[in-house]
């Protein structure tokens, strides 16, 4: 039928949007809080200057949300990468987490750094595979960063042994994320 989607394709698209729009928010919120609590100097800097919230959001996306996630893509032509032959039509699992921690692109990639250039993050994709929810995700993470700065004490501690996940598609779903807010 040309450019029209089939009923099955529409159902898959809607299901994908629901998962991408809700589960990633829960996981992203947890990772944002965890990353901020592990970097209290960043929380202090953002508390002092809220114009840093967008930079903190992008660095959380680069540093914390890279994770083990991967997206399937299919080669449009034969090519070689890293000494391996890739054939047209072959599925590749592309790790945006690996790309966002690439030492060939990011200086000190394992350091959380609000001053770095974050203009080419691959997390939300590009072109035809650009994430429809990118702006919403950034706004949600911005609200989370502001909330952490507003009410989470600097001495709050995560209880990593009690964090629980359950699998959901390519994302782990957080089901328990206990935090000790101190005295």
- 78 in a structural domain: no
Residue ranges in the chain modelled with pLDDT below 70: 1-2, 65-69, 168-171, 183
19, 168, 7, 1 alpha-carbon torsion, rounded to 10°? 90
pLDDT digits (tens, 9 = 90+) for 79-123: 998 899 999 999 988 787 788 888 988 899 999 999 998 877 878
- Can you say whether the dihedral through the CA atoms of 92, 95, 96, 102 is positive or negative? negative
150: CATH? 1.10.630.10
**Statement: the pTM of the whole predicted model exceeds 0.75:** yes
- Give the pLDDT confidence score for residue 83 in this predicted structure: 92
- 87 in a structural domain: no
Distance CA 22, CA 26 (A): 7
Quote the tokens at residue 3.
């450019």
- 115 in a structural domain: yes
- 154 in a structural domain: yes
Number of domains in the chain: 1
Residue 54 contacts residue 115 (beta carbons within 8 Å):
no
- 120 in a structural domain: yes
- 88 in a structural domain: no
- Give the pLDDT confidence score for residue 20 in this predicted structure: 72
Give the three-state DSSP class for 121: coil
List the domain range (segments joined by +) for residue 171.
Answer: 7-67+98-180
């Amino acid at each position: 039928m040309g450019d029209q989607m089939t009923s099955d394709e529409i159902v898959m698209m809607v299901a994908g949007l629901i998962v991408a729009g809700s589960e990633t928010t829960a996981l992203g919120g947890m990772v944002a809080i965890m990353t901020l609590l592990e970097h209290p100097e960043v929380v202090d800097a953002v508390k002092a200057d809220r114009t840093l919230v967008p930079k903190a959001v992008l660095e959380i996306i680069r540093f914390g949300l890279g994770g083990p996630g991967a997206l399937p893509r299919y080669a449009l032509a034969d090519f070689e990468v890293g000494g391996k032959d890739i054939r047209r039509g072959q599925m590749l699992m592309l790790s945006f987490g690996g790309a966002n921690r690439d030492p060939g692109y990011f200086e000190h990639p394992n350091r959380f750094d609000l001053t770095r250039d974050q203009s080419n993050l691959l997390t939300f994709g590009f072109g035809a595979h650009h994430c429809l929810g990118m702006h919403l995700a950034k706004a949600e993470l911005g609200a989370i960063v502001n909330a952490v700065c507003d009410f989470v004490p600097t001495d709050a501690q995560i209880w990593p042994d009690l964090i629980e996940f359950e699998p959901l598609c390519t994302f782990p779903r957080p089901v328990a994320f206990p935090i000790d807010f101190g005295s």
